[in-house]
Structure 1
């Protein structure tokens, strides 16, 4: 589940694709600043509101006409990033983070049959977003395309998309202890 944001995580120095928090050390201040600047998230409530919007509507509905279908990957890739940063910021606990990640599985699994298909839609959604809202955003579309090529490269043994077959999306990455 955490590998759904691999295109974005791949662009971060020192990232991990396989842990809940994408960096080795949690820096709550950096996570809070990132969420505030990128998403206008400054609390648990605004985090949940943003996640609800990404899960129910996001940008995909506005993009559907231009792409020919709603690019679910674009919204759910970012959904996972927001969860990971929200956990790092202290806005949600680990159990909640895993529960929220698990809720992304059904819409993503119903929309795609492979990492390749997921990646294609993510890149398509990002390209359309960059042409409109994201013009002033850091990073280029080419950075994302290169990240996808690295992730899909069958010789890249560090790629989570090579290490974790697509069909494992139907199984939880982590089962949190009950009663915590």
Structure 2
């Protein structure tokens, strides 16, 4: 099923212009750049340090769980390594394929932005979906890697949103009793 989807995406969408766009979009996910950018925006522009902190927490927790634990345990080769007809359309990543780290981090951060509501919800969701699609398009992940990354990210993001809501309920400082 993975290969069928990848071949269909290649046949339906691949062009030099689309490849350039997908390279640009996948770059947003490199080292969590887009999500760290959102954290800086919330910290310095919106003066919302809590959201900034939870965005960074989501990125760090996702990277730790996904890249340092799950990828090491599964150790799945990337599509371009085992299917010559699907060459990597970016410089070849050296880590394992399952699950997609770009996707996991994107969906974890998206959950934080989704909790913020308004335009952030749609910017987060749209960016996460585009980054996830770019990983398949560029032949560096199977669709199942991306789906697993979505699940990891949503779970980590949901945990962070829960913690964020609990943090909101706590008083900003302790007041002495009279």
Is the TM-score greater than 0.5?
A: no
TM-score using structure 1 length: 0.30
Larger Rg: 2
More helix per residue: 1 or 2?
A: 2
Q: TM-score, normalised by structure 2?
A: 0.31
